[in-house]
């Protein structure tokens, strides 16, 4: 298991073919808010589940609307319907695999994902986000949570199955770094704080004027040095034009929405953009930091862990019981190295007493990263869950390290990994589609 590569595949879907990637995201969102249909019928049977005509129609309607909002060309009806149906079929197959494996998403990961979405949508709080969805249609928030749980499960399934097929050699990394294209991927990364003044669905000129005043106030507060938390505490409770936002982390300019990329690139660190009016509201963005590939110094943790993974024989509950027992034995003074060698299911580290070496932020999955940074040197964590199973980690040391060369090689390896992952994902999706039972019930122009 290569924990350090897990985060790479999370962004892969956005780099797939534009139509397929866009439609997949929209299909996932399509069932959240569509109204119940009085007359409905099964149009596709996938293994022991069904896709309804209303599922396809709602997804097509949502896809068409989102493509229009993004000013992207809308394909012919037959192509759109065929692609939406294909994505729904693949989704059903993957969810069936997840159900048979007994995999679930823990509440912490799901709550984090929903909260992040609420923040990006400009909601002042998670409760306000829930109320807004349920006011639009009863039960929308519960359906959204289920939808996002399914999304996370599919992402983890792909990471586990497809990611294990991708192998990047040191020679491939060397060749990439020697190529001209590597300079594009080794460009500066920008860390931003992003704030959105939310507008009504159909804003008037008066709405734009009043929200613009709040956006200017947010900008002034940021220029005066107020923190993200202070700004949100001041403006998030606005009744008509609530302000949401947060730290967006490091991204390359090419990864930013085009409407933001150019204004942000003109900024010096700690400068703030003028308010940017967009369809979803008025944006204000602060450049918190800029880092390049010339010299990179990062904090690192020397860490080891014990992993208990569920499988065909060990259920998730059994894995939790076993990790709890190991935690009690550690508390009683037993040796971490010995327990890791004896019980850990991570083949890459178990033989070394669970050692993962020196680890930087962002190399591990988010929950592992978070627990690692909160654990004191020479202490071990309480059991926690990731998509790989249940962990206990121990931090053995901390340091500041010049990782410029490692950073360059990691960027190269992740870039090559993304390319290979995309191809392997296509291959795997074709394989599982060929191995599934799919019966078309004479749905009009659904394709497969």
Q: For 115-146, give the DSSP string.
A: HHHHHHTT-SSHHHHHHHHHHHSTTHHHHHHH
10 plus 152 within the same structural domain = yes
Q: What is the mean pLDDT, run by run of 10 residues, along the chain of 448 residues?
A: 32 35 40 48 91 90 80 82 92 93 86 84 82 88 92 92 91 89 75 88 87 93 89 81 85 77 86 88 90 76 95 88 96 96 93 94 89 95 92 96 81 88 93 92 58
Beta strands in 353-442 (DSSP E): 355-360, 384-386, 389-402, 438-440
From 165, 180, 206, give the residue that closes a domain: 165
Closest CA to 440 of 196, 86, 122: 86
Note the pLDDT of residue 171: 94
In a domain, 13, yes or no: yes
Cβ atoms of 380 and 332 closer than 8 Å? no
In a domain, 183, yes or no: no
- In the chain, the number of structural domains is 3
146 plus 225 within the same structural domain = no
Structural element, H or E, at residue 264: helix 258-265
Note the pLDDT of residue 400: 92
Structural element, H or E, at residue 189: strand 189-198
Range of the domain at 54: 3-165
Which CATH number covers residue 13? 1.10.4030.10
Report CA-CA distances (Å) from 335 to 200, 284, 325.
Answer: 59, 52, 14
211 plus 322 within the same structural domain = no
**β-strand partners of 190:** 251, 290
Cβ atoms of 153 and 95 closer than 8 Å? yes
283 plus 305 within the same structural domain = no
260 plus 303 within the same structural domain = no
Cβ atoms of 278 and 259 closer than 8 Å? yes
DSSP conformational letter for 12: S
Note the pLDDT of residue 15: 33
In a domain, 427, yes or no: no
Contact partners, residue 95, CB within 8 Å, separation at least 6: 49, 150, 153, 154
From 226, 259, 291, give the residue that closes a domain: 291
In a domain, 254, yes or no: yes
24 plus 74 within the same structural domain = yes
From 225, 259, 291, give the residue that closes a domain: 291
Report CA-CA distances (Å) from 77 to 24, 64, 88, 444, 447.
Answer: 16, 10, 16, 11, 12
Which CATH number covers residue 326? 3.10.50.40
140 plus 17 within the same structural domain = yes
In a domain, 313, yes or no: yes
Helix and strand element counts for the chain (H, E): 15, 11
Note the pLDDT of residue 256: 77
DSSP conformational letter for 293: S
394 plus 336 within the same structural domain = yes
127 plus 245 within the same structural domain = no
Q: Please indicate, yes or no, whether the overall pTM of this predicted structure exceeds 0.95.
A: no
65 plus 141 within the same structural domain = yes
51 plus 140 within the same structural domain = yes
208 plus 332 within the same structural domain = no
In a domain, 418, yes or no: no
In a domain, 413, yes or no: no
In a domain, 207, yes or no: yes
Length reported for the chain: 448
Cβ atoms of 359 and 339 closer than 8 Å? no
Phi/psi of residue 74, each to 5°? -95, 125
């Amino acid at each position: 298991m290569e924990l350090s590569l897990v985060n790479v595949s999370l962004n892969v879907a956005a780099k797939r073919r534009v139509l397929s990637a866009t439609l997949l995201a929209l299909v996932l969102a399509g069932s959240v808010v569509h109204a119940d249909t009085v007359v409905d019928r099964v149009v596709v049977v996938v293994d022991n589940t069904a896709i309804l005509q209303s599922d396809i129609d709602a997804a097509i309607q949502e896809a068409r609307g989102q493509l229009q909002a993004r000013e992207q060309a809308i394909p012919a009806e037959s192509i759109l319907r065929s692609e939406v149906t294909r994505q729904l079929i693949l989704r059903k197959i993957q969810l069936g695999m997840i159900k048979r494996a007994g995999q679930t998403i823990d509440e912490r990961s799901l709550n984090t994902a929903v909260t992040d979405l609420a923040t990006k949508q400009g909601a002042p709080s998670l409760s306000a986000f829930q109320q807004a969805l349920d006011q639009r249609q009863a039960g929308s928030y519960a359906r959204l949570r289920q939808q996002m749980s399914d999304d996370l499960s599919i992402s983890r399934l792909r990471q586990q199955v497809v990611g294990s097929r991708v192998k990047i050699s040191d020679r491939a990394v060397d060749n990439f770094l020697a190529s001209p294209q590597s300079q594009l991927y080794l460009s500066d990364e920008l860390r931003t704080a992003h704030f959105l003044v939310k507008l009504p669905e159909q804003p008037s000129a008066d709405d734009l004027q009043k929200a613009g005043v709040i956006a200017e106030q947010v900008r002034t507060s940021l220029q005066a040095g107020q923190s993200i938390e202070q700004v949100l505490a001041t403006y998030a409770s606005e009744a008509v034009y609530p302000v949401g936002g947060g730290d967006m982390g490091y991204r390359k300019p090419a990864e930013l929405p085009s409407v933001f990329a150019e204004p942000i690139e003109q900024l010096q660190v700690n400068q703030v953009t003028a308010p940017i009016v967009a369809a979803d509201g008025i944006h204000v963005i602060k450049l918190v930091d800029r880092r390049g590939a010339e010299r990179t110094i990062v904090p690192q943790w020397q860490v080891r862990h014990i992993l208990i993974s569920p499988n065909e024989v060990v259920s998730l509950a059994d894995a939790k019981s076993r990790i709890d027992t190991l935690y009690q034995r550690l508390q009683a003074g037993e040796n971490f190295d010995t327990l890791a060698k004896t019980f850990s299911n991570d083949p890459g580290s178990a033989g070394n007493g669970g050692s993962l070496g020196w680890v930087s932020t962002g190399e591990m999955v988010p929950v592992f990263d978070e627990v690692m940074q909160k654990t004191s040197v020479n202490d071990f964590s309480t059991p926690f869950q990731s998509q790989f199973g249940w962990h206990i980690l121990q931090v053995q040391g901390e340091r500041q390290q010049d990782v410029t060369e490692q950073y360059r090689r990691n960027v190269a390896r992740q870039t090559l990994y993304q390319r290979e992952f995309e191809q392997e994902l296509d291959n795997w999706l074709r394989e599982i589609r060929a191995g599934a039972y799919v019966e078309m019930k004479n749905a009009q122009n659904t394709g497969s």
